[in-house]
Amino acid sequence: MRLVAAMSGGVDSAVAAARAVDAGHEVTGVHLALSRNPKSYRSGARGCCSIEDSNDARRAADAIGIPFYVWDMSDEFAEAVVDDFVSEYEAGRTPNPCLRCNEKIKFAAVLERALALGFDGVVTGHYAQVRTGDDGLVEMHRAVDMAKDQSYVLGVLTQDQLSRSHFPLGDSTKPDVRREAEERGLQVASKPDSHDICFVADGDNAGWLAEKIGPRPGTIVDESGEVLREHDGAYAFTIGQRRGLRLGVPADDGKPRFVLDIEPVSGTVTVGPRDQLLVDALDGVSPLWCTAAPTREITCTVQLRAHGAEHRARVRVDRDPGVDDDRASTVHVELLDPAEGIAPGQACVVYDGTRVVGSATISRTRRRSTSPA
C-alpha cells in the first residue's frame, strides 16, 4: 500500500514510519505545519509543531530513506482546533484539543488530502491497535502499553477512518520504541515527549485565553451564593480546580474548596467541598462510533479523561426519530463507579473490554443528591 506517515518530529512517529517501510509499504513522510508563525506555538520538548520538530522529522525521513514533505494545515488547524478551543471555554466548557485535532486534522483533513493524492491510508505513532473483528469491521483496541495508551484521544475515529489508519506501535512499549530508534540510528531516539497544548506557547492557558477573549468580569461564590471574590474571566477556571483560586477566606470547616460549576453568561464560578465533585451520571452529544452505534443499553466501561481511570457504566443511546444521523443522538451514561470533577466539554469514550466503541462530548453531568450541572 501507499501510505502517508504523519511525522511530528518525535521518536514515536519516526519508528512508526520505519516499521511501515519494513512491512513492505510505500511510505511518504509528511510533517504538518500547524501555524504560519511556528514561534507562536510551543517549541522544544513541550511542543509538536515547531521549526525544530520539522527539521527532526526531515532528518528521520532521510535516515529511513523515504520522501518527505511539509503540508500546510495552519488554516484548518486554526479553525477546527484553536478557534474551537476558545469558543468552548467561552461557553464554560472544558475541551480536549488533542481529540479535536485527531478528528478534524490528522484523520480527516490529512486523510482526505492523502486519498486525493492516490495514497491508501495514514500511518501515525499513536499507541493503539487496529484489528478486524469477526463481523469484518475494523476495531480499535487499547495499546499493549497501558501507560502510553492513546485510544482515548482516538475515540473520535469512524469506521471509514479506522479502515485506512495504521498504528504500528500498538503492540510495543515506549522503552522498546526508544531502543529501536537508537538501533536504527534515528537522532530522535532520546528526544523527550511533547506535553500539554501545543498552541499555547508558554503553557499559561489562562493567560493565553485572556489575550484571545479579553476581560469578562464575574464572581466566585460558595454554595450558599456568598461572593468570595471577583475574577477577570470564568474561562480561567475548570471544574475540579483547586489551585489558583485565591479565595483568601477559608471554608467554615477549614477544608480546601474546588470549582463545582461555571456559569459563562453571568461569569459566576461556584466553589465547594470535594465530595460535591462526584458525578454518577452524564449526557453526551455529537457521538462518533468506531463501528456501529449501540442499539440497546450496554454494560461497559468509560474513560472521561485522557489519562484517567476506567469507570464501569451503563450506556444508552437515544436517537432523534426525525433525524437520520447518529450525531443527532444523545448518549446517556450511568456511572456505576462515580467519577470526580467531570466537566462539560470533555470526551466520554466508551469501551467494551479493550475495544473502543465510540465517544461523545459531555454536555451535562449529575452530581449525587444534586441537580444537573
Tell me which residue of 116, 163, 160 sits closest to 288, measured CA to CA.
Answer: 160
The C-alpha atoms of residue 213 and residue 204 are separated, in whole angstroms, by: 14
H-type alpha helices, 135-173? 159-162
Question: Three-state SS across 241-254?
Answer: CCCCCCCCCCCCCC
Task: Tell me which amino acid residue 273 is.
Answer: P
Cβ 185 vs Cβ 61: under 8 Å: no
Tell me which residue of 77, 74, 63 sits closest to 29, measured CA to CA.
Answer: 63
> Any idea which residues carry the catalytic annotation?
101, 198
Q: What is residue 90's three-state secondary structure?
A: helix
- Tell me the CB-side half-sphere exposure of residue 281, using CA atoms within 13 A: 10
Buried b (16+ CB within 10 A) or exposed e, 59-87: bbbebbebebeebebbebbeebbbebbee
| Residue for grid cell 464575574 | 218
Q: Which three cell numbers stand for residue 145?
A: 502499553
Strands 2-6 and 26-33: parallel
| Residue for grid cell 468580569 | 217
